[in-house]
Amino acid sequence: MDAATSVDAILRPWSGPLGAPPFAAARAELFAPAFEAAFAERRREIAAIAESAEPASFDNTIVALEKLGRALDRVAALFFHLVHVNGDDPLEAIERDVAPKLAREQIALYLNPGIFARVEALWSRRQSLALDSEQARLLKRWRDGFLRNGAALDESGKARFAAIEERLAELGTAFRQNVLADERAFTLPLETVSDRAGLSDAFLASATENAAARGVAAPVATLSRSSYEPFLQYSTRRDLREKLFKAFVQRGANGGESDNRAIMGETLALRAERASLLGFESYADYKLDDQMAKRPDAAEKLLADVWDPARRRALEEAEALQAIIAAEGGNFELKPWDWRFYAEKRRKALYDFDEDAVKPYFSLASMIEAAFYVAGRLFGLNFEPRPDIDLYHEDARAWRVADESGETLGLFIGDYFARPSKRSGAWMNALREASAIDGKVTPVVVNVSNFARAAEWRDCLLSLDEARTLFHEFGHALHGLLSQARYPTLAGTSVARDFVEFPSQLYEHWLETPEVLRRFARHRDTAEPMSEEMIGRVVAARRFNQGFLTVEYCASAFVDLALHRQSDPKPDADVVALEDAELEAHAMPETIAARHRTPHFQHIFSSDGYSAGYYSYLWSEVLDADGFEAFVEAGDVFDAEVARRLKDFVYSGGDTRDPAEAYRLFRGRDPRPEALLVKRGLT
């Protein structure tokens, strides 16, 4: 196969089984020419729309925009997935080059006066266009997109806006790569019996796998959460817990080429300038203007309403942990690297809950099966393994997703194990969105996690929190797979940021229902089901440690909003000092660290996806806590009518209607915020 043919393989429509991308053809050296060819094609398409002699119509303008740049969409989706899950130096070099080019191409569309004029012409005639509700919403989304990206600015404003976008793309890429570099660079060798004290056989097996992946002999703990959190939870070596904790919180702030502190200041200044160009007081005002919250004050009020009871509970929890230290003869004050270790002791004492005894009931394979089962009960879905589909890594697996009639809904790919080449965290990625503009296009959806590697799938055991993560990300996947929107812009998870977490957080509830635990929480070795007594203890322990968990999350959300509410941030500002001042203003307990310190806060600095929007997890939790009550009130967690409304108005609806309306159509009323405090046990 010559080079031209190879490049064409990643440019043309995907023809693999169920629309699978051409992973086998995706060699690093092909992406630069593929991007250039896709850019050129997209420019020609933009010119054809802008220069059309025909009067603007919904089809020749808005639908044409929906079809715009399909080759570029395919190349970018494939490339960025690979760089995030299988990154290496060649791919990351291409990412640094292509990220600002992509930003330049995107903003060139929004600043194209010919296309904006056509969109405005349609907007002025919208009442006479006989559009259905989905088309009307799509027209508004496109017009809002143009306005929010500078289309109405004068020429100097447009030029500055474009320069800002390009620079922000460079900064976000550098930020992410720096965090990954720090994570790759650090390992904690566990060379002696003492180094391994308290750690389970399963953890040590994973640590050995981590060592093999890095070419070292001794087992190692890493900065992946799947390694970091259980080490802090079980290691009896307080000095090693402190060492790993400090390395974890120091990511992105170690000096040298991978230091993110200058990047943060410049990013905040550029975002504020962009918002100011558009007439907003701050970047937070700009960002929330088209979200459910609408105003930063509304988001801050929600956080404040939760913060006070959570902080009181966290201080009570800290006193209880300090009492355990004293009872054991410890002569030291509780520190952040001690919390998980002593909390685990307290949980075991209060609930007779031993994570090591519970984990054998939560194998990765059984939890995947459980997530599929719930989707079948709620939405009539079936999942067929497809080992014949060539994927990008031996860890990844594929399933055909079908509805009750057997019709294919899409392709689902799961990539669950941590590896040095993979970005940390867990996420859902739609490699291809569902649409029905000219023929049905089924989605291709991926769930990525970073669970501790095991040599055999049956040996990969999840903590209860990790099982929740699996269900959470699968909720996002269903949001993409079930989409019935006609247009890609409105499809799947393309919804308001403070609504997008609702379907995923809601899905977590089914994991801990007795029916699901009885069926799927079976011991890895004996296949015996979890006892009713243990199920009771698992359910009872759900609200344990909620002060700590709520405080560490809210702390990061407060910092995010505070940084982005600045009207004139300075590019050389000490962002870490601003973070510390914000935490001090809220009387952050010294025994708890914010879930994300700013130098590695990828949610808000790797891109603008969650910038000024990290609060959205809590906002969505109000919806999920209240929403699950609909099933409780019906007397059946799989009630068919409630599930139908949930599917029709939430999981399948995408952004075809206002999210508040979508919630009301599902629930029959607005959400009741007190459900959140009840769920977390903070009342």
Tokens of 674: 């007190």
Task: Answer whether residue 433 shows pLDDT above 60.
Answer: yes
Q: Is the same domain home to 327 and 364?
A: no
For 625-643, write each residue's pLDDT tens digit: 999 999 999 999 999 999 9
Q: Are residues 398 and 281 in the same domain?
A: no
For residues 330 and 418, state if they share a domain: no
CA-to-CA distance for 448 and 454, rounded, in angstroms? Answer: 16
What is the full DSSP assignment across 553-584?
Answer: HHHHHHHHHHHHT-SS--TT--HHHHHHHHHH
Share of the chain residues as helix, strand and coil, in percent rounded to the nearest 5: 60, 5, 30
Kindly state whether residues 566 and 480 are assigned to the same domain.
no
Q: How many other C-beta atoms lie within 10 A of the C-beta of residue 169?
A: 22
Both 66 and 90 in a single domain?
Answer: yes
| Total H helices, total E strands in the chain | 28, 7
The closest alpha carbon to 219, from 237, 231, 241, 204, belongs to 204
pLDDT confidence of residue 115: 98
Express each pLDDT in 84-126 by its tens digit.
Answer: 999 999 999 999 999 999 999 999 999 999 999 999 999 999 9
Confidence of residue 352 (pLDDT cuts 50, 70, 90): confident
**Mean pLDDT across the stretch 490-497?**
96
**pLDDT for the residue 288:** 98
3-state secondary structure of 188: strand
Q: What is the mean pLDDT of residues 231-235?
A: 97
Q: Match 């056509």 to its residue by tokens.
A: 118
Instruction: Give the residue numbers spanning the domain of 412.
Output: 360-543+617-680
Predicted confidence at residue 213, as pLDDT, reads 86
Cα–Cα distance, 19 to 389 (Å, whole number): 10
* Residue 72 belongs to a domain: yes
Beta-bridge partners for 432: 444
pLDDT band (50, 70, 90) for residue 459? confident
Q: Catalytic annotation on 473?
A: yes
What's the rounded mean pLDDT across residues 455-483? 93
| Alpha-carbon span 209 to 190, nearest angstrom | 13
pLDDT value at residue 5: 67
Q: Which amino acid is at 166?
A: E
CATH number of the domain residue 630 falls in: 1.10.1370.40
Mean pLDDT of 416-436: 94
pLDDT at 1: 47
Bridge partners for 412 per DSSP: 399, 445
Domain assignment present for 394: yes
| Final residue belonging to a domain, choices 589, 614, 639 | 614
Helix 616-634 and helix 296-327, axial crossing angle in degrees, nearest 10: 80
Please name the residues in contact with 583: beta carbons below 8 A apart, sequence gap of 6 or more.
555, 558, 559, 594
Name the region of 215 (left: φ>0; alpha: ψ -120 to 50; beta: rest): left
Token pair for 268: 């905040």
Distance CA(390)–CA(394), nearest Å, equals 9
**End position of a domain, from candidates 566, 586, 614:** 614
> What residue type is 541 in one-letter code?
A
| Whole-number pLDDT of residue 542 | 86
Tell me the sheet residues that pair with 383.
401
What SS3 class is residue 221?
strand
Q: Are 62 and 142 in contact (CB under 8 A)?
A: yes
Domain boundary, last residue among 595, 614, 633: 614
Same domain, 41 and 140: yes
- Between 616-634 and 546-564, two packed helices, what is the crossing angle to 10 degrees? 140
Angle in degrees, 0-180, between the axes of helices 238-249 and 336-351, rounded to the nearest 10: 120
Return the CATH number at 87.
Answer: 1.20.1050.40
CB 107: neighbour CB atoms within 10 A? 21
Location of structure tokens 């959460």? 225
Residue 609 in domain: yes
pLDDT at 369: 97
Asked whether residue 164 is domain-assigned, the answer is: no
Nearest to 429 by CA among 449, 409, 457: 449
Q: Is the same domain home to 310 and 427? A: no
Contact 197, 235 (CB under 8 A): yes
Do 441 and 581 lie in a common domain? no
SS3 382: strand
Does residue 196 lie within any of the structural domains?
A: no
**Alpha helix positions (H), 359-508:** 364-379, 464-481, 497-508
In this structure, what DSSP letter does residue 460 have?
Answer: -
Provide the CATH number for the domain around residue 595. 1.10.1370.10
**What kind and span of H or E run contains 352?**
none
Quick one: which of 639, 636, 635, 641 has its CA closest to 665?
Answer: 641
Closest CA to 662 of 410, 481, 511, 484: 484
Q: What whole-number distance in Å separates Cα of residue 164 and Cα of residue 605?
A: 15
- Give a yes or no: residue 211 inside a domain: no
Same domain, 365 and 508: yes
Q: Compute the average pLDDT of residues 537-554.
A: 93
pLDDT value, residue 458: 74
Same domain, 458 and 478: yes
Q: Domain check: are 277 and 370 in the same one?
A: no
Q: What is the DSSP letter of 530?
A: P
Same domain membership, residue 407 and residue 510: yes
Average pLDDT score over the chain: 95
Give the three-class secondary structure for 529.
strand
Per-residue model confidence (pLDDT) at position 2: 57
Which pLDDT score is estimated for 101?
96
Cα–Cα–Cα angle for 135, 139, 141, nearest 5°?
115
Average pLDDT over residues 459-484: 96
d(CA 27, CA 29): 6
Q: Which helix (H) or strand (E) element contains residue 520?
A: helix 514-520
DSSP codes joined into one string, 428-451: EEEEE--B-SSS-B--EEEEEEEE
In this structure, what token pair is assigned to residue 80?
Answer: 């960025």
User: How much is the average pLDDT of 202-209?
Assistant: 91
Phi, psi of 220 (to 5 degrees): -135, 140
Q: Which residues contact 605 (CB under 8 A, 6 or more apart)?
A: 171, 172, 175, 260, 263, 264, 267, 598, 611
In a domain, 251, yes or no: no
Segment 125-129 long-range contacts (CB within 8 Å, at least 24 positions apart): 129/58
Task: Tell me the mean pLDDT in the region 213-217.
Answer: 89
State how far the Cα of 683 lies from the Cα of 675, in Å rounded to an integer: 10
Residue 155 has pLDDT above 50, yes or no: yes
- The catalytic residue among 105, 466, 473, 621 is 473
pLDDT digits (tens, 9 = 90+) for 174-197: 999 999 999 999 999 999 999 999
Spatial CB neighbours of 43, under 8 Å, sequence gap ≥ 6: 105
Residue 249 corresponds to which amino acid? V
> How many structural domains compose the chain?
3
pTM, to two decimals: 0.94
DSSP conformation class of 363: B
Is residue 232 in a domain? no
